Amino acid sequence: MRILVIGSGGREHALLKGLAGNELFVAPGNAGMESLAKCLPIDALTPQPIVDLAKEVDAELVVIGPEVPLVAGAADALREAGIPVFGPTQEAAQLEGSKAFAKDVMAAAGVATARALRVTPEEGTAGVESALEQFGPNYVVKDDGLAGGKGVVVTTDRAEAAAHANAVLEAGNPVLFESFLEGPEVSLFCLVDGETVVPLLPAQDHKRAYDNDEGPNTGGMGAYTPLPWLPEGGVERIVDEIARPVAREMVARGIPYQGLLYVGAAWGSEGPSVVEFNARFGDPETQPVLSLLKTPLDTVLYAVATGTLADLAPLEWEDGFAATVVLAAENYPASPVKGDAITGAELDNPDKVLHAGTKRTDAGYVSAGGRVLNVLGRGATLEEAVADAYRVIEGIEMRGSFYRKDIGRRAVAGEVSVEKQ
């Protein structure tokens, strides 16, 4: 099959690896993907260039990685052109693009989530101060739009919460205040085709920049799958209590969901509650999850794109665990330094290293983004998978780079637990 993947990060490198064996194109891609696909360095964030490119390469399937093209309507434009696409419509993608829309859908579907209050730019600082009075001592402040996974501040510092809220308003976006949800977080990717919902393996992301969950939020510094601490039947509960009711509500609204619904949930004393939805594969959780998928990825994505997910055979998975550790550039996430040389033995082995923010020069690979590489580990146990990833990342050198040393550590130590229901 001729497949066009849209995106340039570690998530897209993982998708390409899973789709190997097909004729692959990626736009814009990055240097590490060149062995798997033809990189087409064009602007692929708006619908028309994506449609034009899909026609140019005669794509039989288009897979959209990042959220921006989805919220811009790229999937709609491809469907109108008769090209199968993995990704929801512009209207359906508002589950990620507008947190207020997502809250409305959840309320109608009876899905548990945090209490929330939306403040508009017109309400200004007075609205922010009023909201701060109603929340705390743990403040959760979100940009009501797309922020690349970095638009959320969780803090006990009221001044910090106010500063973030006012910055969002000054940028012209509404801001959402939410109650703090207790319990460990779960990322569950669900294939959705109308009312048909098929979950992948559950994963856990590590969003803070530094060890012990300190520092600013990032797009994600590492992840592992599956979750040894998730209660038996946990995945089924997330599907039954969250994903399927939301899918049915979207159908009832006349905007059926067709693509990947990422459910970010906190598992508290009453079970799972929604922290966020994303309308695409999460990064970096995709990397370990897809590394364990035995069912051919092209078959899976094509079934969703063509409305035949209900006919797909049950997914098959490898035994064991997988983990990803992100190598980040100096000063990430604020203002990452770019252009530093990268060396290491496994840089061209996609089973171990996925490229996220790299480019190639005559001298070799150099950094070209904040999250530079995603290093994969596999093992019969989570401890072995994490150790495998760290063994590889310790052999990579890049000036000023850093990575978290504690990905999966609390789960390995048995320190992550949930209350018995």
**pLDDT of the residue at 406:** 98
Q: Give 290-314 pLDDT, tens digit per residue.
A: 999 999 999 999 999 999 999 999 9
Q: Is the previous residue joined to 28 through a cis bond, with omega within 30 degrees of 0?
A: yes
From the number of C-beta atoms within 10 Å of its C-beta (0-12, 13-18, 19+), residue 201 rates as buried
Residue 213 lies in a domain: yes
Rounded (5°) CA angle 206-400-328: 25
Residue 397 lies in a domain: yes
The answer on 307 and 189 residing in a single domain is yes
Predicted pLDDT of residue 147: 59
Within-domain flag for 419: no
The whole-angstrom separation of Cα 208 and Cα 217 is 5
Confidence of residue 152 (pLDDT cuts 50, 70, 90): confident
User: Which amino acid is present at 292?
Assistant: L
Provide the residue range defining the domain that includes 132: 115-179
256 and 283 share one domain: yes
> Residue 335: inside a domain, yes or no?
yes
Of 62, 53, 136, 73, nearest to 306 by C-alpha is 62
Is residue 76 a contact partner of residue 90, using CB atoms and an 8 Å limit?
yes
Let me know whether 206 and 258 are in one domain: yes
Question: Which residue among 179, 197, 227 closes a domain?
Answer: 179
User: Domain end: 162, 179, 196, which one?
Assistant: 179
Domain identity same for 329 and 259: no
CA 396 to chain centre: 25
| 149: confidence class by pLDDT, cuts 50, 70, 90 | low
Q: In this structure, what are the phi and psi dihedrals at residue 132, rounded to the nearest 5 degrees? A: -60, -30
pLDDT band at 88 (very low <50, low <70, confident <90, very high): very high
Q: Is 238 helix (H, G, I), strand (E, B) or coil?
A: helix
Say which CATH number the domain at 8 has.
3.40.50.20
Q: How many helices and strands, by DSSP H and E, does the chain display? A: 14, 23
Looking at 311, 334, 358, which one is the last position of a domain?
A: 311
The answer to whether residues 368 and 334 belong to one domain is yes
Q: Is there a domain that residue 247 lies in?
A: yes
Which is it for the CA torsion 243, 304, 89, 121, positive or negative? Answer: positive
Same domain, 128 and 142: yes
pTM exceeding the 0.85 threshold for the entire prediction:
yes
Domain presence at residue 29:
yes
Q: Is 215 a member of any domain?
A: yes
233 shares a domain with 161: no
Residues 17 and 69 in one domain: yes
Query: Is 361 found in the same domain as 270?
Result: no
User: Domains in the chain: how many in total?
Assistant: 4
- Whether 94 is covered by a domain: the verdict is no
CB-based contact 229:184 (threshold 8 Å): yes
**Is it the case that residue 53 has pLDDT exceeding 70?**
yes
Give the confidence band of 403 by pLDDT, cuts at 50, 70, 90: very high
Residues 237, 410, 398, 370: is their CA dihedral positive or negative? positive
Q: Domain of 360: which CATH number? A: 3.90.600.10
Q: Is the pLDDT of residue 150 over 60?
A: no
Q: Can you tell me the mean pLDDT for 97-104? A: 91
Tell me: do 79 and 11 sit in the same domain: yes
Residue 85 and residue 136 in one domain: no
Model pLDDT for residues 112-121, shown as the tens digit of each residue: 999 999 999 9
| 352 and 249 in a common domain | no
Residue 144 has a pLDDT of: 83
How many whole angstroms from its chain centre is CA 92?
Answer: 17
